[in-house]
Amino acid sequence: MNKINRRQFIKSTGGFVAAAAAPAVHANGKSDYDAIVIGAGLSGLHAAMLLEENDMKVLVLEGRQRIGGRVYTLMHVPGKPEAAGEWIGGNYARMIATARKLGMDFWIPEQGGPDRGWAYEINGQFLSAQDWEKHPLNPMQGEDRSIPPHRMLWTISNKDNPLADQPLDAWLKPEFAKYDIPFDQYLRKRGYNEETIRLMDVTIHTNHISNTSALHELRRYHVNSFNAKHKFYEGNSYAQIKGGNSLLTDAMADSLKQQPLLGKTVVHFDQTSTNASVHCADGTKYTADHIISSIPMPVLRDITFSPRLPEQMQAAVNEVDYGLSMQAHFLIKKKFWEEDGMEPSIWSDRSIERFGVRNVNNEDGPPAGVAFINGEASHKYRLMSDEAIFNYVANELAEIRPSMKGALDPILIQSCERDPHGAGDWVYWKPGQIGKYAANMRERHGRIHFCGEHTAIMERGMEGAFESGERAALDVLFS
């Protein structure tokens, strides 16, 4: 074959060799599909797209009545905030390429982000950002005093990060196992005082700073720094999908030949030597040569496998938790920041934690705000009704800042945890769990393969989801 022909041959998906190299479709006549993918989040959708592109017959089953999983743009809330996966980093190669392929644009919406104006409430005192550096409540020394409270977690965690300049999979290497210890212990060893550690704990998504592995946190900031090396949108190393990240997951689902089935909650997996099946809560059963599950680990606790999961994997499913958060969205009826002359948004060490304001100048609709409560502080909201949460949060805010009295109208409550198909925000490894479990999370169980952000090796968050979907799809294609 000459060069041109060969290229064309490779580019087209047909040809006798394609048939010979690809697992034969319906090889044993016992499966309806080559592969079934559970979950229409980023990882599942990416896996399904890759398998279809390689001529496989694929079915995606999604438990919720919507596509996207932990990508969820609140399209009807002013400013269209992202309820979950928000920032796309410069190193999110798969996500960026997929978005471009599907004709999406990027943007940096006017939402303020980390650099919006924050006022602080610390130990009951309400203060402006400009007063922080010299304020007696500032617990830090030297140049650290200029780090504002809402940047302490990020900046201090990433200072002299032992993972810096290491490859992104270094967190799994034995030489770094010594950092698989409680994060507060790591910080204390580095000389940070208790008040600094307490303020760093405020917005951590994990269940208290002592309950997350330092190695997990160091990895988080290591990956973030790596993202800053690549610029992709108007010279920036971060952006979002223009119009909302949900447009991407919707377009990914639309691009599939076989549309995902919604409302299909998987409750049981079984497999024989020839195929594997999933059983859904509505009594339906689907069979395929391979299954890829993107179900988050804590949700897997309620799902049964026959034969059972290997012991180590089951132990991980039982023990590994996800970070938690709760969002209370409000419409802002009056510009209270103009009344008191302070910054619009609030960062606080009491249990409302953060109130972020969008559309300060009516850029994209009326002003709106979200109380964003992470980690153990979110526990108290678990059993409260929406109405009780709105009242509680509004009262707390009015207590911090009298100008906010009567300023808020409730819109909605959002939490990935308050949903049977969501486990929380993202995996967090407790001290010791990286060494114990992180290496096993992506091992296949016979014909069942696992993907999802929690199984990523190099990347985290949304790109971690893509990476894991790619890895699972390749496991299927090469098996």
Partner 1 sequence: MKRLLLTSLVASLILSVGSTAQAEESSTTEETEKQLMLGKRAFIRCVACHSLAEGEAHRTGPNLHGLFGATAGQKEGFAYSDALKNSTMEWNDENLRAWLLSPATVIPGNKMAFGGVPSEKELDALMAYLAEMTK
Contact residues toward ligand FAD (CB under 6 A) are 38-44, 61-64, 69-71, 84-87, 264-266, 294-296, 299, 303, 325, 416, 421, 425-426, 452-453, 461-462, 464-465
Distance between CA 344 and CA 479 in Å, rounded? Answer: 55
Of 91 and 245, nearer to partner 1 (C-beta) is 91
Q: Which does 224 bind (CB under 5 to 8 A by kind): partner 1, ligand FAD, none?
A: none
Distance between CA 221 and CA 141 in Å, rounded? Answer: 22
Distance between CA 159 and CA 387 in Å, rounded? Answer: 41
> Is 1 a binder of partner 1 (CB under 8 A)?
yes
Of 169 and 254, nearer to partner 1 (C-beta) is 169
Structural contact between residues 70 and 85, judged by C-beta atoms closer than 8 angstroms: yes
> Is 459 a binder of partner 1 (CB under 8 A)?
yes
Distance between CA 349 and CA 402 in Å, rounded? Answer: 17
> Is 21 a binder of partner 1 (CB under 8 A)?
yes
> Is 226 a binder of partner 1 (CB under 8 A)?
yes
Residues of span 350-369 touching partner 1 by CB under 8 A: none
Can you tell me which residue has the tokens 């909650």? 265
Structural contact between residues 353 and 347, judged by C-beta atoms closer than 8 angstroms: yes
Q: Which of 242, 224, 292, 294 has its CA nearest to residue 96?
A: 242
Q: Which of 198, 195, 120, 187 has its CA nearest to residue 158?
A: 187
Distance between CA 44 and CA 71 in Å, rounded? Answer: 12
Residues of span 161-220 touching partner 1 by CB under 8 A: 165-169
Q: Which does 226 bind (CB under 5 to 8 A by kind): partner 1, ligand FAD, none?
A: partner 1
Q: Closest distance between partner 1 and the C-beta of residue 2, in Å?
A: 12
Of 264 and 329, nearer to ligand FAD (C-beta) is 264
Mask 128-167, x = binds partner 1 (CB under 8 A)? -------------------------------------xxx
Can you tell me which residue has the tokens 């925000």? 425
Of 137 and 172, nearer to partner 1 (C-beta) is 172
Stretch that binds partner 1, among 283-291, 363-371, 387-395, 456-464 (CB under 8 A): 456-464
Q: Which of 250, 247, 239 has its CA nearest to residue 110?
A: 239
Of 315 and 457, nearer to partner 1 (C-beta) is 457
Distance between CA 208 and CA 80 in Å, rounded? Answer: 30
Structural contact between residues 327 and 394, judged by C-beta atoms closer than 8 angstroms: no
Residues comprising the chain, all counted: 479
- Look up residue 140 and give its DSSP letter: -
In angstroms and rounded to an integer, the radius of gyration of the C-alpha atoms of the chain is: 24
> Is 470 a binder of partner 1 (CB under 8 A)?
yes
> Is 20 a binder of partner 1 (CB under 8 A)?
yes
Q: Which does 42 bind (CB under 5 to 8 A by kind): partner 1, ligand FAD, none?
A: ligand FAD
Mask 43-62, x = binds partner 1 (CB under 8 A)? -------x---x--------
Distance between CA 39 and CA 70 in Å, rounded? Answer: 11
What is the enclosing helix (H) or strand (E) of 359? none
Q: Closest distance between ligand FAD and the C-beta of residue 438, in Å?
A: 15
Interstrand relation of 304-306 and 266-271 (parallel, antiparallel or unpaired): parallel
Structural contact between residues 462 and 86, judged by C-beta atoms closer than 8 angstroms: no
Q: Closest distance between ligand FAD and the C-beta of residue 83, in Å?
A: 7
Q: One-letter amino acid identity for 19?
A: A
Q: Which does 134 bind (CB under 5 to 8 A by kind): ligand FAD, partner 1, none?
A: none
Tokens at 236, concatenated = 């920036």
Of 58 and 156, nearer to partner 1 (C-beta) is 58
Mask 84-103, x = binds partner 1 (CB under 8 A)? ------xx-xx-xxx-----
Q: Closest distance between partner 1 and the C-beta of residue 223, in Å?
A: 9
Stretch that binds partner 1, among 273-281, 282-290, 391-399, 471-479 (CB under 8 A): 471-479
Stretch that binds partner 1, among 4-12, 155-163, 275-283, 334-342 (CB under 8 A): 4-12
Of 179 and 372, nearer to ligand FAD (C-beta) is 372
Q: Closest distance between partner 1 and the C-beta of residue 293, in Å?
A: 20
Cis peptide before 307 (omega within 30 of 0): yes
Structural contact between residues 320 and 313, judged by C-beta atoms closer than 8 angstroms: no
The 3-state DSSP class for residue 471 equals helix
Q: Closest distance between partner 1 and the C-beta of residue 132, in Å?
A: 34
- In sequence order, what DSSP letters do the residues of 85-102 get, joined into one string? --PEETT-HHHHHHHHHT
Q: Which does 271 bind (CB under 5 to 8 A by kind): partner 1, ligand FAD, none?
A: none
Can you tell me which residue has the tokens 């479709």? 25
Please name every residue paired with 122 in a beta bridge, in sequence order, or none if there are none.
125
> Is 458 a binder of partner 1 (CB under 8 A)?
yes
> Is 377 a binder of partner 1 (CB under 8 A)?
no
Of 197 and 324, nearer to ligand FAD (C-beta) is 324
Sign of the Cα torsion 25, 48, 416, 227 reads: positive
**Interacting residue ranges for partner 1, rule: CB under 8 A:** 1, 3, 6-7, 9-10, 15, 17-18, 20-22, 50, 54, 90-91, 93-94, 96-98, 165-169, 226, 229-232, 457-459, 466, 470, 473-474, 477-478
